[in-house]
Structure 1
Amino acid sequence: MTTSPVALPLSSGCSDCAAYQRAEKAASAEYDYSKATDCRVLLARHRKSSECSARGSS
């Protein structure tokens, strides 16, 4: 069973968000779907944290 990844909105000015998105894209390109999933989870957690400079702007 395969599932399609859920696309999160692109980062808007947060360098950490952009780094997670680049890592997810690279992992997907390498067919490392476990790592890609980890990147999406970390991105979602980061966006909910107070450390995200783009928080609330998407």
Structure 2
Amino acid sequence: MTDHSTAQPSETDECRDCQELDLAEAVARGERDESRATDCRVLRKRHRAAEHGEQP
């Protein structure tokens, strides 16, 4: 049996805000709206720094 308490979270375990920003970026890229896709990446980076303590 695997001890999941020490396992690193996977991409599928990300918070809802991260997932929504990823989806918004994918939709923007699908629509070839690179400006909006860039906005999504910037917002996700800011969110991860503020909410997840990641360094920018």
TM-score by length of 2: 0.68
The answer to which structure, 1 or 2, has the higher relative contact order (CA under 8 A, 6+ apart) is: 1
Q: Distance in 2 between matches of 1:12 and 1:34?
A: 27
Runs of 5+ unmatched residues, structure 1: 1-9
- Find the structure with the greater CA-based Rg: 2
TM-score by length of 1: 0.66
Is the 1:20–1:40 contact (alpha carbons within 8 Å) kept by the matching residues of 2?
A: yes
Q: 1:44 to 1:20 in 2, by over 3 A?
A: same
Q: CA shift at 1:11, angstroms?
A: 6.2
Q: How many residues align?
A: 44
Percent identical across equivalent pairs? 47
Runs of 5+ unmatched residues, structure 2: 1-10
Structure whose residues are more often helix by fraction: 2
RMSD (Å) for aligned C-alpha atoms = 2.1
